Structure 1
C-alpha cells in the first residue's frame, strides 16, 4: 500500500486510521517533514480510501486547518461518534513532540473529513520544560466512545505520574475539551510507558491490551472491564515474552452458526533476535489462535 513518499527521504509518522461508516470511507492521518525539518515545521496530511484500502486519494495537507506541528496520532484507531452530541463526527486523538510541549489532544471533522479542527490539549506539567520521573505527561493515546456518548481516552503515562500505570480522560463534547475533573489514573492497569490498545466489545464491556508489567515491555495481555473502565479485574495472557505496541478490535465470526464475536489483537513481539508483528485471535470461550 503506497500513500505518500517523502521527496528527500525525510521523516514520516503514521498515526490514526478512522472509518466513516456513513460514507464507506477510510481515512489515514499522518505527519511528515523534510530530512532536516527546519524550525520543526511539520506538515499534517489526510488520505482517503473508498474501496476498503485498495487505493488511496492524494494526501491533503491540513496544516492550515490544525497547525504545522508534529501530530503523532495514536498510534491507534480513531472513532466515529454514534451517540449525541455530534453524531457522525470523526475523531482522532494523539500527541506531539518534543516532550517538553507534549500532551493529548484530538482532531475532529463534522463534514466527513473535508475539514478538520484541533481540540484543546491536556498538556504536560511543567509545560515547556524538561520533565523528570514523576511529572505529569499524557502521551500516546487510544480512544473509544462510551454508550452515553462520552469520549474516553486511555493514554501512556510517560513519566509515571502517581504510579507506573495508565492515565484516562473523558470528553463530554466530542473531543473538544477534556476537563481536569474527568482525568484519572488507572492503578489497576500496570504499564511501563508504552502504547496500548482500547476498544468496546459491547455496550457493557471494554477491552484493553498492553505489556502487563510496570518495568519492562513483556507479557502482552488482554484485559476487559465490565464497568466501562472503572475497574479491570479480568485478564488473559496472550504472549509471555518481549512485546510492545498493540491494537485491539472485534470481528464477527461468520463461520459460526450463532455469529459469535472474536477479539483481534495486533501486537509487536520478539522471539530471540527476531521482531515481528503478530496477530492473535481470541474467541468468546478463551481459545487463542496466534
Structure 2
C-alpha cells in the first residue's frame, strides 16, 4: 500500500514532466507566465527630421532567417491619415539589440491620398516577406483605390517592384490590417496566406484575402459587413474595422476587431473562421467585455497555446498601453497584466520567434506612444514571458 500511495503522489508530477496519463490537460500545466519588460528602444521619433513630420502605423515581424523587420508610415507634412508618405523600415539581425539606419521602401511623392500600411506576412515555404498595402484608399481625387504588394526574397534587404492586386481582387476599397498576416500552419488549408483588413468607413466591415500559392495569386475570402452596409454610420452602429487574425491550435482563425462605433460596448469584437478564412460566421462573433478599448488598432499574437493582446486599455482614451494574456484561446483572460506605458499610446503589433528554447521566452512589440500625444514616437519593446518569476 505504501508503494501505491507514493505512486499516486508522483503521478501529477509525471503528468507534468512526461505527459503520462490519458486525461492530461495541457492548459492546466502551463508554465506560469509572469511577463516582464526587459528592453525598449525608440525606433522612430516624430518631428525631428525635415523629411518626416510623423511616424505612425507600426508593423513588426521576424523573417524566415531570424532577422527582425520593423515598418511604419513616415508621413511627410502632418500627422493626418491622408498625407504624402514614405514606407520606412529598420532591420535587426540580433533580435532587437541594434537596428539598421532607417531606409525607405516606397515613396508616393506629394500625393495626398497615396500609400497606406498595411500588413506584413511571412511565407516560410517560399522564404519570403510580403508587404500588402493600399494606394488611394480614401479615394480623394481618385476614381478607385488599389491593393498593392511588394516582396522581399533576401531577408528584407531589397524589395520587388509593386504589384497591383486589384486586377485579381477587384476595385472595392480594402485596407489590410494594420498588423500581421498569417500563414496557416495547420489544416484546413495548410500553408495558405491570410490577410484581413477593413473597408471604407461607409462600406466597412472585416474582409480577408487569401493566397494558396505563396502570394502569386490572391482572391477574396471571408467578409463580415457593417450594418447598415454602404450607408453613413452613426454612434453605436455595428461597424467592425481594423483587425488582427491569429491561428489557434485547432486550425481555426481568431480575428480580433476594432469596434469602430462602439456597438454594444467599449470593447473588442472577436470573430472566428473555421474554414481557413473563407467565411466569418455571425454565430462565431462575440464581444469581449474584458478587453476594454477606445476604438484603435490592437496587437494580437498566438504563441505555444497562449494568446497575447496589446492595446491602450481604456474605454475612451488612448492611454494605458497594456499586455494581456489568455490560456483559453481568448475565451478568458488572466487577471494579471503588464502595463508597458501609462500615458498616451496607440496602434501596436507583436511578433515572436520559436526557433530555440531561449527564443521561446520572448515576445517583441512595436507600438505608438508619447507624453502628450500617442503619435510622438514608435517604440520597440522586448518582453520576457517568465521574467517576473
* Cross-structure match for 1:85: 188
For 1:282, what is the secondary structure of its paired residue?
A: strand
Q: CA deviation at 1:8?
A: 5.4
CA distance in 1, matches of 2:241, 2:359: 37
Q: CA deviation at 1:35?
A: 10
Distance 1:61 1:266, change over 3 A: same
* Cross-structure match for 1:53: 156
* Cross-structure match for 2:328: 227
* Cross-structure match for 1:12: 115
Q: Give the alignment partner of residue 261 of structure 1, picking from 342, 361, 367.
A: 361
* Cross-structure match for 2:231: 129
Give ranges in structure 2 of 5+ residues lacking alignment. 1-102
* More off after superposition, 162-171 vs 62-71: 62-71
For 1:120, what is the secondary structure of its paired residue?
A: strand
More strand by share: 1
Matches within 5 A, 1:1-290: 1-6=103-108, 9-10=111-112, 11-33=114-136, 37-38=140-141, 40-97=143-200, 99-203=201-305, 205-233=306-334, 234-251=336-353, 259-272=359-372, 275-286=376-387
Q: CA deviation at 1:224?
A: 0.2
For 1:64, what is the secondary structure of its paired residue?
A: helix
Distance 1:90 1:30, change over 3 A: same
Contact 2:116 2:137 in 1 (8 A): no
Larger Rg computed on CA atoms: 2
CA distance in 2, matches of 1:39, 1:258: 49
Distance 1:56 1:39, change over 3 A: closer
CA distance in 2, matches of 1:224, 1:34: 33
Q: TM-score, normalised by structure 1?
A: 0.92
For 2:289, what is the secondary structure of its paired residue?
A: strand
Distance 1:67 1:187, change over 3 A: same
Deviations 1:243-276 (A, max 9, x none): 010112224697xx85542121111001246810
- How many residues are paired up? 283
For 1:51, what is the secondary structure of its paired residue?
A: coil
Deviations 1:196-228 (A, max 9, x none): 00001212x100000000010000000000000
Distance 1:54 1:159, change over 3 A: same
Q: CA deviation at 1:2?
A: 3.6
